[in-house]
A and B are shown apart, each in its own frame.
Chain A
């Protein structure tokens, strides 16, 4: 008699049980996808790409070997950049030295011109028209001489023959001095004044190489001291000219390498694209021995990215592994992305090497 109510009471438990199971099922269905997605993106075996830099105007021949792996290429590029920076710094220093030198030369010329002008004034004041004409002539000569001296100095700086230039300069100076002395025969006192003024002007103008200039000026006046001063100047100038010659050379090299660096970036991204495509198509064989590695030489049509030829340049010793690598390249073959790349990059991909190294992955 008490069974019936119990039997009836089963309705609610059935509903409860069904609801419970449905809830559990829903929880399972909802939770699983989110917790299963992350581990799906396993990284595949990487093939590292070697770019053959033979076509790029690389200054150092060791780049080819040192840039073996794409991973090493970056440090190499950084080194190159560092070198470039160093070169730039050197160049800047040299440029500064040259500037100083030039300033010194210019100042000398200015001084000479100033002296000439003063002489002219003196002549105008004192001498007759004929004397003035002669002075004008001589002034032109002086200018020519100054120009000659400048050219000579520049040549000397470039040819690293500073000794001769210094000697020349000294001689010229001496000659100028003599000429001035001859011209200024009329008033000795005026000449002395001019000389004093010259010295004052020199001191005022001299900023950086004041001492050297003063020494030079003095040397110009006193021939005994001239030798020592000339020697000093010659040594400094020789060093400067050496540096400048070097810097000009490295400057041109730097231009080339900066171009190459720009191209290298584009080439690197292109390389990644190709490497990715090859990785995707690589059917890695099982049971590979450790340390296995094979290098392929790939030749493409630069404009279209079509494969011309792929050959094993450095075999791993395992022919099936080599074959799998070759097949991977062949399967990935038309690298259409290369068609969009700039021409300079395309040229680099005419021929390049790929290194397959399954141990790179983990």
Chain B
């Protein structure tokens, strides 16, 4: 009377449910591992970038150092820089002096491009999390379905037997309950991981937005300052 015998003796529907739930569990753990790694990496990247950005490094140098491949907050920074440089070069070509009106128009554009970058990053961070959410909310119901189905079958069988005491009912019920157990087994890690990953993602996105705001202010000041071409941080 082990778990194995329970599973082997179960009906076809219960077996299918168990198989589905096993797949769910597999997928959810896959996502959990993948997300855990990638979120940890994003978190570390964000902290490192902030540290270097506020360390007084030249923006151009920072841009060069980041290079081509970038994700997380670096992507936001590069999006802002690219937009800013392109607009500013256009203005400088037409007229030597940047008027406040032109500057604000440029900065609105930069802000927009950075907002888009943040949204993209957020999408990347939260990717696959809906899978976890689905698994965590659906697998208990699927398990419950298997249980109800199994108990239904057991009662149907019971009606044909003359004697119905606990010893004849118990195996059926145990068999049916395996499905619920499996559902919970798949759902619980998914729920915990989903909540944890969502919290981490929110914190990161908030950090990105803060950075975007600060970078935007920085660009605005550099644009209005006399030596605008330098585009240096004045802090």
Instruction: Please give the residue numbers on chain A whose beta carbons come within 8 Å of chain B beta carbons, in ascending order.
Output: 1-2, 6, 9-10, 12-14, 16-18, 20-21, 28-29, 32-33, 36, 286
Docked complex Cα distance between A9 and B31 (Å): 11
Given known pairs A2-B124, A10-B34, A13-B37, the reply for A32 and B163 (CB within 8 Å) is: no
Q: Which residues on the A side are within 8 Å of B71 (C-beta)?
A: 2
Complex CA–CA separation, A17 to B26 (angstroms): 6
Contacts of A12 in B (CB 8 A): 33-34, 37
> Are A16 and B33 neighbours in the complex by a CB distance under 8 Å?
yes
B38 within 8 A of A: yes
A-side contacts of B34, CB under 8 Å: 6, 9-10, 12-13
SS of A interface (majority): helix
* Contact A20–B2 (Cβ < 8 Å): no
Among the listed A14, A21, A36, which residue makes an inter-chain contact with B22, where contact means beta carbons less than 8 Å apart? A21
9 shortest interchain CB distances as A-B pairs: A13-B33, A17-B29, A13-B34, A32-B2, A17-B30, A16-B33, A13-B30, A2-B71, A28-B3
Could you list 27 examples of A-B contacts with CB < 8 Å? A1-B69, A2-B70, A2-B71, A6-B38, A6-B127, A10-B30, A13-B29, A13-B30, A13-B31, A13-B33, A13-B34, A16-B29, A16-B30, A17-B26, A17-B27, A17-B30, A17-B32, A18-B26, A20-B29, A21-B22, A21-B25, A21-B29, A28-B3, A29-B3, A29-B4, A32-B3, A32-B4
Interface of chain B residues 1 through 22 with chain A (CB within 8 A): 1-4, 22
The reply to whether the CB of B165 lies closer than 8 angstroms to some CB of chain A is: yes
Residues of B within 8 A of A6 (CB): 34, 38, 124, 127
In the complex the two chains form, what is the Cα distance from A338 to B29 in whole Å? Answer: 65
Other-chain residue from A17, A28, A286 in contact with B33 (beta carbon distance below 8 A): A17
**With a CB–CB cut-off of 8 A, which chain B residues contact A33?**
2
User: Whole-angstrom distance between the alpha carbons of A32 and B181 in the complex?
Assistant: 15
Q: Which of A17, A18, A29, A286 has the most CB of B within 10 A?
A: A17
Contact A2 B31 (CB under 8 A): no
**Least Cβ–Cβ distance between A161 and chain B, in angstroms:** 77
Chain B residues closer than 8 Å to A16, beta-carbon distance: 29-30, 33
Docked pose: A286 CA to B121 CA in angstroms = 69
Given contacts A28-B3, A29-B2, A29-B4, contact A9 B38 (CB under 8 A): yes
Q: Mark B107-125, 1 if CB is under 8 A from A, else 0.
A: 0000000000000000010
Tell me the bound Cα distance from A204 to B55 in angstroms.
127
Q: Which residue on B lies nearest to A24, using beta carbons?
A: B185
Query: Which chain A residues border B69 with CB–CB below 8 Å?
Result: 1-2
**Separation of A12 and B33 alpha carbons in the complex (Å):** 8
Q: Which residue of the partner chain B has the closest CB to A287? A: B165
- Which A-chain residue is minimally distant from B5 (CB atoms)? A32
Chain A residues within 8 Å of B31, by CB: 13
What residues of B have a CB within 8 angstroms of the CB of A2 in the complex? 69-71, 75, 124
Most A CB contacts (10 A, CB to CB) among B30, B38, B71, B163 go to: B30
B49 → chain A closest CB, angstroms = 15
Report the nearest A residue to B185, measured CB to CB. A24
Task: List the A side residues contacting B22 at CB < 8 Å.
Answer: 21
CB-CB < 8 A to B4: which residues of A?
Answer: 29, 32
**A28: which B residues are within 8 A, CB to CB?**
3
Interface members, chain B 147-168 (any A CB < 8 Å): 163, 165
CA distance A17 to B127 in the complex (A): 18
CB of A83 to closest CB in B, whole Å: 49
Min distance, Cβ B159 to any Cβ of chain A, angstroms: 18
